[in-house]
């Protein structure tokens, strides 16, 4: 994919998302969609995500992030479109 076609988002999700496989399921979904980037825990029951890929794939990932896997309870979801860097090789869970 050329950098011209590459889009990117940064998202923050807060809620009951730890201990329900939120990061693992997001990793699986992003990988299936061919999205690169990362997801990681931050303080206060939050995760942060940076993702790059095709715009339609990113929109599909956003819809997943708003709901999460079974057992997740999303209290707050924020996302913004950012400039893609093309620096990511795969989608990773950062610890």
For residue 25, indicate whether it is catalytic.
no
φ and ψ at residue 3, rounded to 5 degrees? -60, -25
| Catalytic residue, candidates 16, 40, 41, 45 | 41
For residue 23, indicate whether it is catalytic.
yes
The distance in angstroms from the start CA to the end CA of the chain is 28
| Catalytic residue, candidates 23, 29, 40, 45 | 23
Catalytic residues: 23, 41
């Amino acid at each position: 994919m050329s950098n011209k076609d590459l889009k990117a988002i940064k998202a923050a999700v807060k809620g009951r998302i730890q201990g329900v496989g939120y990061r693992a399921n997001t990793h699986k979904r992003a990988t299936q969609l061919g999205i690169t980037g990362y997801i990681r825990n931050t303080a206060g029951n939050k995760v942060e995500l940076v993702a790059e890929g095709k715009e339609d794939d990113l929109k599909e990932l956003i819809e997943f992030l708003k709901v999460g896997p079974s057992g997740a309870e999303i209290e707050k979801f924020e996302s913004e479109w950012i400039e893609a860097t093309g620096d990511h090789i795969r989608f990773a869970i950062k610890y």
